[in-house]
Structure 1
Protein backbone atom coordinates (compact mmCIF):
# COMPACT_ATOMS: atom_id res chain seq x y z
CA UNK A 1 0.00 0.00 0.00
CA UNK A 2 1.01 3.62 -0.41
CA UNK A 3 3.18 5.18 2.27
CA UNK A 4 0.53 7.88 2.48
CA UNK A 5 -2.13 5.28 3.32
CA UNK A 6 0.08 4.03 6.12
CA UNK A 7 0.58 7.59 7.38
CA UNK A 8 -3.19 8.05 7.54
CA UNK A 9 -3.46 4.85 9.57
CA UNK A 10 -1.19 6.52 12.12
CA UNK A 11 -3.46 9.55 12.21
CA UNK A 12 -6.46 7.32 12.89
CA UNK A 13 -4.62 5.36 15.59
CA UNK A 14 -3.78 8.58 17.41
CA UNK A 15 -7.45 9.59 17.30
CA UNK A 16 -7.92 7.33 20.33
CA UNK A 17 -6.14 9.90 22.47
CA UNK A 18 -8.03 12.76 20.84
CA UNK A 19 -11.30 11.23 22.02
CA UNK A 20 -10.13 9.97 25.44
CA UNK A 21 -7.22 12.16 26.50
CA UNK A 22 -6.76 15.05 24.02
CA UNK A 23 -3.83 16.42 26.00
CA UNK A 24 -1.83 13.40 24.84
CA UNK A 25 -2.48 14.00 21.13
CA UNK A 26 0.70 16.08 20.60
CA UNK A 27 2.68 13.01 21.71
CA UNK A 28 0.57 10.25 20.21
CA UNK A 29 0.00 11.73 16.75
CA UNK A 30 3.60 12.21 15.58
CA UNK A 31 4.63 8.91 17.19
CA UNK A 32 1.82 6.99 15.47
CA UNK A 33 2.48 8.57 12.08
CA UNK A 34 6.25 8.01 12.41
CA UNK A 35 5.73 4.38 13.36
CA UNK A 36 3.24 3.86 10.55
CA UNK A 37 5.71 4.98 7.87
CA UNK A 38 8.92 3.76 9.54
CA UNK A 39 9.02 0.27 7.97
CA UNK A 40 9.17 1.80 4.48
CA UNK A 41 12.53 3.38 5.25
CA UNK A 42 13.96 0.06 4.05
CA UNK A 43 12.79 0.94 0.52
CA UNK A 44 16.34 1.00 -0.85
CA UNK A 45 17.78 -1.74 1.34
CA UNK A 46 15.91 -5.03 1.46
CA UNK A 47 12.43 -3.58 1.11
CA UNK A 48 9.75 -5.25 3.21
CA UNK A 49 12.41 -7.29 4.95
CA UNK A 50 14.93 -5.02 6.67
CA UNK A 51 12.44 -2.96 8.70
CA UNK A 52 9.22 -4.95 8.28
CA UNK A 53 8.48 -7.25 11.24
CA UNK A 54 4.83 -8.38 11.19
CA UNK A 55 5.29 -10.67 14.19
CA UNK A 56 7.92 -8.93 16.33
CA UNK A 57 6.46 -5.41 16.20
CA UNK A 58 3.14 -6.81 17.41
CA UNK A 59 4.79 -8.84 20.16
CA UNK A 60 6.73 -5.82 21.44
CA UNK A 61 3.79 -3.44 21.09
CA UNK A 62 1.43 -5.40 23.37
CA UNK A 63 3.37 -5.01 26.67
CA UNK A 64 4.31 -1.41 25.84
CA UNK A 65 0.66 -0.52 25.18
CA UNK A 66 -0.28 -2.19 28.47
CA UNK A 67 2.38 -0.15 30.26
CA UNK A 68 1.16 3.07 28.63
CA UNK A 69 -2.37 2.33 29.87
CA UNK A 70 -1.39 1.34 33.41
CA UNK A 71 1.38 3.88 33.93
CA UNK A 72 1.07 6.56 31.25
CA UNK A 73 4.12 8.65 30.54
CA UNK A 74 5.34 10.53 27.50
CA UNK A 75 8.00 7.92 26.57
CA UNK A 76 5.62 4.99 27.10
CA UNK A 77 2.83 6.58 25.08
CA UNK A 78 5.16 7.59 22.27
CA UNK A 79 6.72 4.13 22.06
CA UNK A 80 3.33 2.41 22.27
CA UNK A 81 1.94 4.36 19.33
CA UNK A 82 5.16 4.03 17.33
CA UNK A 83 5.29 0.25 17.70
CA UNK A 84 1.57 -0.12 17.05
CA UNK A 85 1.88 1.91 13.87
CA UNK A 86 4.86 -0.15 12.69
CA UNK A 87 3.04 -3.40 13.51
CA UNK A 88 -0.09 -2.39 11.61
CA UNK A 89 2.01 -1.29 8.63
CA UNK A 90 3.87 -4.61 8.46
CA UNK A 91 0.66 -6.63 8.62
CA UNK A 92 -1.20 -4.37 6.17
CA UNK A 93 1.40 -4.96 3.47
CA UNK A 94 0.46 -8.64 3.45
CA UNK A 95 -2.96 -7.67 2.12
CA UNK A 96 -1.44 -5.71 -0.78
CA UNK A 97 0.47 -6.76 -3.88
CA UNK A 98 3.83 -8.43 -4.33
CA UNK A 99 7.27 -6.92 -4.17
CA UNK A 100 7.85 -5.90 -7.78
CA UNK A 101 7.91 -2.81 -9.95
CA UNK A 102 4.60 -3.74 -11.60
CA UNK A 103 2.67 -5.60 -8.89
CA UNK A 104 -0.52 -5.49 -10.96
CA UNK A 105 1.06 -8.27 -13.02
CA UNK A 106 0.93 -10.48 -9.89
CA UNK A 107 4.27 -12.13 -10.69
CA UNK A 108 5.82 -11.92 -7.21
CA UNK A 109 4.83 -14.09 -4.27
CA UNK A 110 6.75 -11.96 -1.75
CA UNK A 111 4.66 -9.52 0.27
CA UNK A 112 6.45 -9.19 3.62
CA UNK A 113 9.27 -11.17 5.16
CA UNK A 114 8.35 -12.72 8.50
CA UNK A 115 11.57 -13.08 10.50
CA UNK A 116 9.80 -15.19 13.14
CA UNK A 117 8.82 -17.84 10.59
CA UNK A 118 11.90 -17.26 8.44
CA UNK A 119 9.99 -16.95 5.19
CA UNK A 120 8.26 -14.52 2.85
CA UNK A 121 4.51 -14.20 3.40
CA UNK A 122 2.69 -14.29 0.04
CA UNK A 123 0.53 -11.29 -0.92
CA UNK A 124 -3.23 -11.58 -0.55
CA UNK A 125 -3.78 -8.80 -3.11
CA UNK A 126 -6.94 -7.44 -1.50
CA UNK A 127 -5.35 -4.14 -2.49
CA UNK A 128 -3.83 -5.17 -5.82
CA UNK A 129 -0.85 -2.84 -5.65
CA UNK A 130 0.33 0.36 -4.02
CA UNK A 131 -1.42 3.22 -5.76
CA UNK A 132 -4.32 1.09 -6.99
CA UNK A 133 -7.75 2.79 -7.04
CA UNK A 134 -8.80 0.70 -4.05
CA UNK A 135 -5.70 1.88 -2.19
CA UNK A 136 -6.88 5.46 -2.73
CA UNK A 137 -10.35 4.49 -1.48
CA UNK A 138 -8.79 3.15 1.73
CA UNK A 139 -6.86 6.41 2.11
CA UNK A 140 -10.07 8.41 1.68
CA UNK A 141 -11.86 6.21 4.22
CA UNK A 142 -9.04 6.76 6.72
CA UNK A 143 -8.88 10.50 6.09
CA UNK A 144 -12.62 11.09 6.52
CA UNK A 145 -12.85 10.57 10.31
CA UNK A 146 -9.53 12.33 10.80
CA UNK A 147 -10.88 15.44 9.10
CA UNK A 148 -13.78 15.43 11.56
CA UNK A 149 -11.89 14.60 14.75
CA UNK A 150 -8.91 16.92 14.37
CA UNK A 151 -8.45 20.66 14.02
CA UNK A 152 -5.81 22.52 12.03
CA UNK A 153 -2.95 21.98 11.36
CA UNK A 154 -3.70 18.23 11.44
CA UNK A 155 -6.56 18.56 8.96
CA UNK A 156 -4.23 20.42 6.59
CA UNK A 157 -1.69 17.59 6.93
CA UNK A 158 -4.38 14.98 6.25
CA UNK A 159 -5.61 16.93 3.22
CA UNK A 160 -2.08 17.22 1.84
CA UNK A 161 -1.45 13.49 2.34
CA UNK A 162 -4.70 12.69 0.57
CA UNK A 163 -3.76 14.95 -2.34
CA UNK A 164 -0.39 13.17 -2.67
CA UNK A 165 -2.23 9.84 -2.58
CA UNK A 166 -4.49 10.89 -5.43
CA UNK A 167 -1.56 12.15 -7.51
CA UNK A 168 0.42 8.95 -6.94
CA UNK A 169 -2.59 6.81 -7.88
CA UNK A 170 -2.87 8.72 -11.16
CA UNK A 171 0.85 8.42 -11.91
CA UNK A 172 1.61 4.95 -10.53
CA UNK A 173 1.62 2.97 -13.79
CA UNK A 174 3.29 5.67 -15.93
CA UNK A 175 6.03 5.98 -13.30
CA UNK A 176 6.75 2.25 -13.53
CA UNK A 177 7.10 2.52 -17.31
CA UNK A 178 9.38 5.53 -16.90
CA UNK A 179 11.61 3.63 -14.47
CA UNK A 180 11.85 0.73 -16.92
CA UNK A 181 13.13 3.08 -19.60
CA UNK A 182 15.45 5.16 -17.44
CA UNK A 183 17.25 2.49 -15.42
CA UNK A 184 19.16 0.95 -18.39
CA UNK A 185 20.45 4.42 -19.26
CA UNK A 186 21.94 5.00 -15.81
CA UNK A 187 25.62 4.32 -15.04
CA UNK A 188 26.20 0.81 -13.70
CA UNK A 189 27.30 2.23 -10.36
CA UNK A 190 23.95 3.97 -9.93
CA UNK A 191 22.01 0.93 -11.09
CA UNK A 192 23.53 -1.21 -8.35
CA UNK A 193 22.19 1.23 -5.74
CA UNK A 194 18.60 0.86 -6.91
CA UNK A 195 16.11 -1.58 -5.35
CA UNK A 196 16.19 -5.04 -6.93
CA UNK A 197 12.73 -4.69 -8.45
CA UNK A 198 13.90 -1.63 -10.41
CA UNK A 199 16.86 -3.49 -11.88
CA UNK A 200 14.89 -6.69 -12.53
CA UNK A 201 12.19 -4.83 -14.42
CA UNK A 202 14.69 -3.26 -16.78
CA UNK A 203 16.13 -6.59 -17.93
Structure 2
Protein backbone atom coordinates (compact mmCIF):
# COMPACT_ATOMS: atom_id res chain seq x y z
CA UNK A 1 0.00 0.00 0.00
CA UNK A 2 0.99 3.62 -0.44
CA UNK A 3 2.87 5.32 2.36
CA UNK A 4 0.07 7.87 2.45
CA UNK A 5 -2.51 5.12 3.01
CA UNK A 6 -0.50 3.82 5.95
CA UNK A 7 -0.16 7.36 7.32
CA UNK A 8 -3.88 8.03 7.07
CA UNK A 9 -4.82 4.77 8.77
CA UNK A 10 -2.28 5.52 11.49
CA UNK A 11 -3.97 8.86 12.07
CA UNK A 12 -7.38 7.18 12.04
CA UNK A 13 -6.26 5.13 15.05
CA UNK A 14 -6.24 8.39 17.01
CA UNK A 15 -9.98 8.90 16.55
CA UNK A 16 -10.95 6.86 19.65
CA UNK A 17 -8.57 9.05 21.65
CA UNK A 18 -10.32 12.14 20.29
CA UNK A 19 -13.59 10.77 21.68
CA UNK A 20 -12.36 9.30 24.98
CA UNK A 21 -9.61 11.73 25.96
CA UNK A 22 -9.57 14.74 23.62
CA UNK A 23 -6.76 16.40 25.55
CA UNK A 24 -4.42 13.73 24.15
CA UNK A 25 -5.82 13.83 20.61
CA UNK A 26 -3.17 16.11 19.01
CA UNK A 27 -0.26 13.96 20.16
CA UNK A 28 -2.21 10.82 19.21
CA UNK A 29 -2.73 12.07 15.65
CA UNK A 30 0.96 12.94 15.30
CA UNK A 31 1.98 9.58 16.76
CA UNK A 32 -0.37 7.77 14.37
CA UNK A 33 1.06 9.66 11.41
CA UNK A 34 4.67 8.93 12.42
CA UNK A 35 3.96 5.33 13.35
CA UNK A 36 2.14 4.74 10.08
CA UNK A 37 5.08 6.04 8.06
CA UNK A 38 8.00 4.76 10.16
CA UNK A 39 8.20 1.14 8.90
CA UNK A 40 8.84 2.35 5.35
CA UNK A 41 12.07 4.02 6.45
CA UNK A 42 13.60 0.65 5.55
CA UNK A 43 12.72 1.24 1.88
CA UNK A 44 16.35 1.06 0.77
CA UNK A 45 17.66 -1.27 3.49
CA UNK A 46 15.80 -4.56 3.68
CA UNK A 47 12.38 -3.19 2.74
CA UNK A 48 9.46 -4.80 4.57
CA UNK A 49 11.92 -6.66 6.79
CA UNK A 50 14.21 -4.33 8.71
CA UNK A 51 11.48 -2.20 10.32
CA UNK A 52 8.39 -4.33 9.67
CA UNK A 53 7.20 -6.47 12.59
CA UNK A 54 3.70 -7.82 11.95
CA UNK A 55 3.73 -10.17 14.98
CA UNK A 56 6.10 -8.62 17.50
CA UNK A 57 4.80 -5.16 16.61
CA UNK A 58 1.25 -6.23 17.39
CA UNK A 59 2.28 -7.64 20.76
CA UNK A 60 4.16 -4.43 21.59
CA UNK A 61 1.13 -2.34 20.57
CA UNK A 62 -1.22 -4.36 22.80
CA UNK A 63 1.09 -3.94 25.78
CA UNK A 64 1.43 -0.21 25.10
CA UNK A 65 -2.34 0.13 24.78
CA UNK A 66 -2.83 -1.56 28.14
CA UNK A 67 -0.32 0.83 29.69
CA UNK A 68 -2.08 3.84 28.16
CA UNK A 69 -5.44 2.69 29.53
CA UNK A 70 -4.06 2.05 33.02
CA UNK A 71 -1.86 5.13 33.16
CA UNK A 72 -2.90 7.66 30.53
CA UNK A 73 -0.44 10.42 29.76
CA UNK A 74 0.93 12.18 26.73
CA UNK A 75 3.81 9.72 26.55
CA UNK A 76 1.82 6.51 27.02
CA UNK A 77 -0.93 7.54 24.59
CA UNK A 78 1.63 8.54 21.96
CA UNK A 79 3.49 5.27 22.43
CA UNK A 80 0.31 3.21 22.15
CA UNK A 81 -0.99 4.92 19.01
CA UNK A 82 2.44 5.05 17.37
CA UNK A 83 3.14 1.36 17.94
CA UNK A 84 -0.39 0.42 16.88
CA UNK A 85 0.04 2.38 13.65
CA UNK A 86 3.39 0.72 12.93
CA UNK A 87 1.92 -2.72 13.63
CA UNK A 88 -1.09 -1.99 11.41
CA UNK A 89 1.28 -0.92 8.64
CA UNK A 90 3.31 -4.14 8.83
CA UNK A 91 0.26 -6.36 9.15
CA UNK A 92 -1.70 -4.74 6.34
CA UNK A 93 1.21 -5.19 3.92
CA UNK A 94 0.27 -8.87 3.88
CA UNK A 95 -2.97 -7.96 2.10
CA UNK A 96 -1.16 -6.07 -0.63
CA UNK A 97 1.21 -7.14 -3.36
CA UNK A 98 4.65 -8.69 -3.36
CA UNK A 99 7.92 -6.84 -3.05
CA UNK A 100 8.76 -5.91 -6.64
CA UNK A 101 9.08 -2.84 -8.85
CA UNK A 102 6.01 -3.75 -10.91
CA UNK A 103 3.75 -5.45 -8.37
CA UNK A 104 0.81 -5.61 -10.78
CA UNK A 105 2.70 -8.43 -12.54
CA UNK A 106 2.37 -10.61 -9.43
CA UNK A 107 5.81 -12.24 -9.65
CA UNK A 108 6.92 -11.86 -6.02
CA UNK A 109 5.75 -14.04 -3.14
CA UNK A 110 7.33 -11.76 -0.52
CA UNK A 111 4.78 -9.47 1.13
CA UNK A 112 6.34 -8.79 4.53
CA UNK A 113 8.92 -10.58 6.65
CA UNK A 114 7.78 -12.11 9.94
CA UNK A 115 10.63 -12.24 12.42
CA UNK A 116 8.46 -14.44 14.63
CA UNK A 117 8.02 -17.06 11.90
CA UNK A 118 11.50 -16.53 10.49
CA UNK A 119 10.22 -16.27 6.92
CA UNK A 120 8.51 -14.07 4.37
CA UNK A 121 4.72 -14.06 4.42
CA UNK A 122 3.09 -14.31 1.02
CA UNK A 123 0.98 -11.47 -0.42
CA UNK A 124 -2.81 -11.88 -0.42
CA UNK A 125 -3.22 -9.23 -3.15
CA UNK A 126 -6.58 -7.95 -1.91
CA UNK A 127 -4.99 -4.62 -2.76
CA UNK A 128 -3.38 -5.50 -6.08
CA UNK A 129 -0.46 -3.10 -5.74
CA UNK A 130 0.51 0.16 -4.08
CA UNK A 131 -1.07 2.96 -6.04
CA UNK A 132 -3.98 0.86 -7.29
CA UNK A 133 -7.54 2.29 -7.30
CA UNK A 134 -8.46 0.15 -4.30
CA UNK A 135 -5.44 1.52 -2.44
CA UNK A 136 -6.77 5.02 -3.06
CA UNK A 137 -10.20 3.92 -1.85
CA UNK A 138 -8.66 2.70 1.42
CA UNK A 139 -6.86 6.03 1.81
CA UNK A 140 -10.16 7.85 1.30
CA UNK A 141 -11.92 5.58 3.77
CA UNK A 142 -9.38 6.50 6.44
CA UNK A 143 -9.35 10.20 5.58
CA UNK A 144 -13.13 10.68 5.71
CA UNK A 145 -13.66 10.29 9.48
CA UNK A 146 -10.56 12.39 10.22
CA UNK A 147 -11.96 15.21 8.09
CA UNK A 148 -15.40 14.85 9.69
CA UNK A 149 -13.94 14.80 13.21
CA UNK A 150 -13.57 18.56 13.08
CA UNK A 151 -9.89 19.21 13.86
CA UNK A 152 -8.93 21.66 11.12
CA UNK A 153 -5.18 20.97 11.12
CA UNK A 154 -5.45 17.21 10.79
CA UNK A 155 -8.41 17.47 8.42
CA UNK A 156 -6.33 19.60 6.05
CA UNK A 157 -3.35 17.27 6.45
CA UNK A 158 -5.58 14.31 5.59
CA UNK A 159 -6.86 16.02 2.46
CA UNK A 160 -3.29 16.86 1.41
CA UNK A 161 -2.25 13.23 1.88
CA UNK A 162 -5.29 12.09 -0.06
CA UNK A 163 -4.43 14.50 -2.87
CA UNK A 164 -0.86 13.18 -3.01
CA UNK A 165 -2.29 9.66 -3.11
CA UNK A 166 -4.51 10.51 -6.08
CA UNK A 167 -1.58 11.95 -8.05
CA UNK A 168 0.54 8.90 -7.24
CA UNK A 169 -2.23 6.56 -8.44
CA UNK A 170 -2.38 8.41 -11.78
CA UNK A 171 1.40 8.20 -12.25
CA UNK A 172 2.15 4.85 -10.59
CA UNK A 173 3.03 2.76 -13.65
CA UNK A 174 5.03 5.54 -15.27
CA UNK A 175 7.03 6.00 -12.08
CA UNK A 176 8.20 2.38 -12.24
CA UNK A 177 9.74 2.99 -15.67
CA UNK A 178 11.19 6.32 -14.52
CA UNK A 179 12.83 4.66 -11.51
CA UNK A 180 14.67 2.24 -13.80
CA UNK A 181 15.90 5.07 -16.02
CA UNK A 182 17.11 7.14 -13.07
CA UNK A 183 18.88 4.15 -11.51
CA UNK A 184 20.86 3.69 -14.72
CA UNK A 185 22.12 7.27 -14.47
CA UNK A 186 23.64 6.74 -11.04
CA UNK A 187 27.40 6.24 -10.76
CA UNK A 188 28.44 2.61 -10.12
CA UNK A 189 29.55 3.41 -6.56
CA UNK A 190 26.04 4.63 -5.73
CA UNK A 191 24.23 2.02 -7.82
CA UNK A 192 25.68 -0.70 -5.60
CA UNK A 193 23.38 0.50 -2.81
CA UNK A 194 20.23 0.62 -4.94
CA UNK A 195 17.79 -2.27 -4.34
CA UNK A 196 17.96 -4.83 -7.18
CA UNK A 197 14.34 -4.26 -8.16
CA UNK A 198 15.28 -0.79 -9.41
CA UNK A 199 17.97 -2.26 -11.67
CA UNK A 200 15.60 -4.46 -13.65
CA UNK A 201 15.54 -4.11 -17.46
CA UNK A 202 13.27 -1.34 -18.68
CA UNK A 203 9.97 -2.41 -20.27
Q: Aligned pair 1:68/2:60, yes or no?
A: no
Q: 1:101, 1:201 within 8 Å by CA — same for their partners in 2?
A: no
Distance in 2 (CA, whole Å) between partners of 1:143 and 1:113 is 28
Q: Report matched runs for 1:41-190 at 5 Å.
A: 41-190=41-190
Cα RMSD of the aligned pairs, angstroms, is 1.3
SS across alignment from 2:44: coil
Deviation at residue 32 of structure 1 after TM alignment: 1.2
With normalisation by structure 2, the TM-score equals 0.96
Determine the structure 2 residue equivalent to 1:25: 25
Distance in 1 (CA, whole Å) between partners of 2:170 and 2:100 is 18
SS across alignment from 1:101: coil
Q: 2:180, 2:200 within 8 Å by CA — same for their partners in 1?
A: no
Distance in 1 (CA, whole Å) between partners of 2:100 and 2:192 is 16
1:64-101 Cα offsets, whole Å, 9 max, x none, are 11111011122111111111001000000000001000
Q: 1:97, 1:104 within 8 Å by CA — same for their partners in 2?
A: yes
Distance in 2 (CA, whole Å) between partners of 1:201 and 1:55 is 35
In terms of mean alpha carbon deviation, does 127-136 or 181-190 score higher? Answer: 181-190
Distance in 1 (CA, whole Å) between partners of 2:168 and 2:29 is 24
1:145-181 Cα offsets, whole Å, 9 max, x none, are 1110132111110110000000000111001011223
Structure 2: gaps spanning 5 or more residues: none
Structure 1: gaps spanning 5 or more residues: none
